[in-house]
Amino acid sequence: AASSALLCQGALAATLNTQQLKTLENLKKDALNSDTSYQIIESLTTEVGARMVGTEAEKKSVTWAVNKMKALGFDKVWTEPVATPKWHRGEARVSIESPYPHTLVALALGGSVGTDGKTLKAPVVQFENLQALKDAKADSLKGKIAFVSYRMERHIDGHGYGMAVGARGAGAAIAAEKGAIAYVMRSVGTDTNRVAHTGGMRYQDGVKKIPGLALSNPDADLLLNQLKRNKPVIMSLSLTANPEPDAEVTSYNVIGQINGSELPNEYVTLGAHLDSWDVGTGAIDDGIGVGMTLAAVHHIAQLPQRPKRSVRVILFAAEEIGLFGARAYAKAHKDDMKDHVIGAEWDFGNGDIYQLTPGVGPSALNNIRDLATLLAPMGVSLSSENNAKGQSDMSALGRAGMPAINFDPDGSDYFDYHHTPNDTLDKVNRDALKKNTAIYTMFSYFAAQSDVDFRK
């Protein structure tokens, strides 16, 4: 009944013919009934776990990915080297010394320097947000520890992240410019757990590098409650991060595809990143992306016939420390980027997908409407925008001219777990995962079986 309803939808343009629509409907059923994407995440998190750039586990993840793609029926699997910096987190020991001693839960921000074996002890100066820190007078933080207490807001599309993450990237450099000896911030996260959220930060040329750390939300609350009492709050802080400054290592993008039956040199691309931070097992960020993209291609590979175009999965290296894998891919594939017909990343957990936003040529928009019609029964609506440039890693390919589709999931709880020790397998919603995998499978088949030029 579902498939006949679909075939009768008069609104469908002619992107796929009746037989192809039937195949697509079967693929949807396969994916909705399959646990494959979950099993891939289970395997990655159990057999590899955390896989931060430069670690043994990251090397293992590359082998794991190559083997997994082969086992899942990919036609061609290879790796491409990526030069990346390496950073070692070390241990953070942070506490309030006075007026009321407390041990605080903290994590270094990615890229932070350590304290060279010393323990810093200094008064804390609090700022409501990054702007307030920027507004502080020159030299006003001399010998102090700056603390930005801004709390990230929870929103379905995760836009609270954008409002909060600036303090993570730039806070330490700005604090250092004004004389601070260390920088601590409330974690960029929406949870109330006693675990901190890590994530990348940047130094500025010519500005002293000072340690940057994130406190868990409850610890930031506690620090605020002490500050409220109008007595000097003295913090002590030591961090063994980054014993190998400027170390560079080679990592690998892992790439696999099924070869198109008619247009093998045109690539529908699915992206996710293989690396993770070291604190959880990277189930959510981005094990789910790995599971969904590999499973989508696996389901299509089970068909008696390959679709016209190739479907390529790129598992990017070194996303967390600054999209190094994506940039390396865009550079290496400068000449054949024109053959990347369209791409979608998955790097945003697994809330239900509620919207798709294309970034295609005006005439291809008709075909995107066909896709949206096919996905509407799954709760996916079509955005009125046509400006997607690709999410996460795929933004590098989008900037290089590849058309993109963004699939937008309910991200309300994504930042409860993001970049924390809590990013583990039990957080994966198996039902939403099946549905989202089905959507990626359908999109991949749709784009690969058609011969639409998404640039036009």
Q: List residues binding a copy of itself (CB under 8 A).
A: 42, 45-49, 57, 99-102, 105, 192-195, 217-218, 221-222, 225-226, 229, 280-281, 420-422, 424-427
Q: Which is nearer to a copy of itself, 410 or 413 (CB)?
A: 413
CA distance 56 to 278: 12
452 contact, one of Zn ion, a copy of itself, none, CB 5-8 Å limit per kind: none
Q: Which does 422 bind (CB under 5 to 8 A by kind): a copy of itself, Zn ion, none?
A: a copy of itself
What is the DSSP code (8-state) at residue 25?
A: H
Nearer to a copy of itself among residue 199 and residue 343 (C-beta): 199
Cite the DSSP H helix spans in 33-113: 36-47, 56-71
- Provide the CA 334 distance to its chain's centre, in angstroms: 23
What per-residue string of b and e applies to 173-188 under the rule 16 or more CB within 10 Å gives b?
Answer: bbbbbbbbbbbbbbbb
Of 397, 380, 379, the residue nearest 388 (C-alpha)? 397
- When the beta carbons of 264 and 322 are compared against Zn ion, the nearer one is 322
Please state the closest distance from residue 6 (CB atom) to Zn ion, in A.
33
Half-sphere exposure of residue 448: CA atoms within 13 angstroms, side-chain side: 35
Distance, in Å, from the CA atom of 450 to the CA atom of 121, rounded to the nearest integer, reads: 64
- Per-residue DSSP letter, 351: S
With CB cut-offs between 5 and 8 Å by kind, which of Zn ion, a copy of itself, none does residue 265 bind? none
- The option from Zn ion, a copy of itself, none interacting with 286 (CB < 5 to 8 A, set by class) reads Zn ion
55-114 positions binding Zn ion, by CB under 5 A: none
285: partner contacted, choices a copy of itself, Zn ion, none (Cβ within 5-8 A by kind) = Zn ion
| Residue 129 interacting partner from a copy of itself, Zn ion, none (CB closer than 5 to 8 Å by kind) | none
Nearest CB to Zn ion, comparing residues 165 and 222: 165
Give whichever of 137 and 229 is closer to a copy of itself, judged by the CB atom: 229
Give the span between the Cα atoms of 18 and 400, in whole angstroms: 35
Among 191, 219, 275, 285, binds Zn ion (CB under 5 A): 285
345 binds Zn ion (CB under 5 A): no
Task: Assign 309 to helix, strand or coil.
Answer: strand
Q: Is 286 in the site for Zn ion (CB under 5 A)?
A: yes
Query: What gap in Å lies between CA 397 and CA 406, rounded to an integer?
Result: 13
d(CA 285, CA 319): 10
Please identify, using beta-carbon distances, which residue of 217 and 257 lies nearer to a copy of itself.
Answer: 217
Helix (H, G, I), strand (E, B) or coil at 286: helix
Residue 323 to residue 318: CA distance in whole angstroms:
6
CA neighbours closer than 13 Å in the CB half-sphere of residue 430? 10
Rounded Cα gap, residues 380 and 181, in angstroms: 49
Q: How far is the CB of 152 from a copy of itself (least distance, A)?
A: 14
238 strand-pairing partners: 93
Closest to Zn ion by CB, 96 vs 326, is 326
CA 213 to chain centre: 20
Interaction partner, residue 225 (a copy of itself, Zn ion, none; CB < 5-8 Å by kind): a copy of itself
Contact flag: residue 347 with Zn ion (CB under 5 A): yes
- Rounded to the nearest whole angstrom, what is the least distance from the CB of residue 275 to Zn ion in the complex? 9
Number of H helices, E strands in the chain: 14, 16
- What is the Cα–Cα distance from 214 to 332, expressed in whole angstroms? 35
Closer residue to a copy of itself in complex, CB, 197/309: 197
Identity of the residue, 67 or 381, whose beta carbon is nearer to a copy of itself in the bound complex: 67
User: In this structure, are residues 374 and 24 in contact, taking their beta carbons and an 8 Å threshold?
Assistant: yes
Q: Does 408 bind Zn ion (CB under 5 A)?
A: no
Q: Is 275 in the site for Zn ion (CB under 5 A)?
A: no
Residue 347's binding partner among a copy of itself, Zn ion, none (Cβ under 5 to 8 angstroms by kind) is Zn ion
Please choose which of a copy of itself, Zn ion, none residue 192 contacts, taking the beta carbon within 5 to 8 angstroms, the exact cut-off set by kind: a copy of itself
CB of 223 to a copy of itself, least distance (A): 10
Minimum distance of a copy of itself from residue 100's CB (angstroms): 5
Q: Which does 221 bind (CB under 5 to 8 A by kind): Zn ion, a copy of itself, none?
A: a copy of itself
**Residue 176 binds which entry of a copy of itself, Zn ion, none, CB below 5-8 Å type-dependent:** none
If you compute the radius of gyration of the chain from its CA atoms, what whole number of angstroms results?
23
Smallest gap, in angstroms, from Cβ of residue 324 to a copy of itself?
A: 25
Q: What are phi and psi of 121, to 5 degrees?
A: -140, 120
Which residues are CB-contacts of 304 (< 8 A; sequence separation ≥ 6)? Answer: none
Map the footprint of Zn ion across residues 1-60, applying CB under 5 A: none
Residue among 228, 213, 227, 224 at smallest CA distance from 181: 213
Name the residue nearer to a copy of itself (CB basis): 231 or 334: 231
Nearer to a copy of itself among residue 129 and residue 226 (C-beta) = 226
Binding interface with Zn ion (CB under 5 A) = 285-286, 347
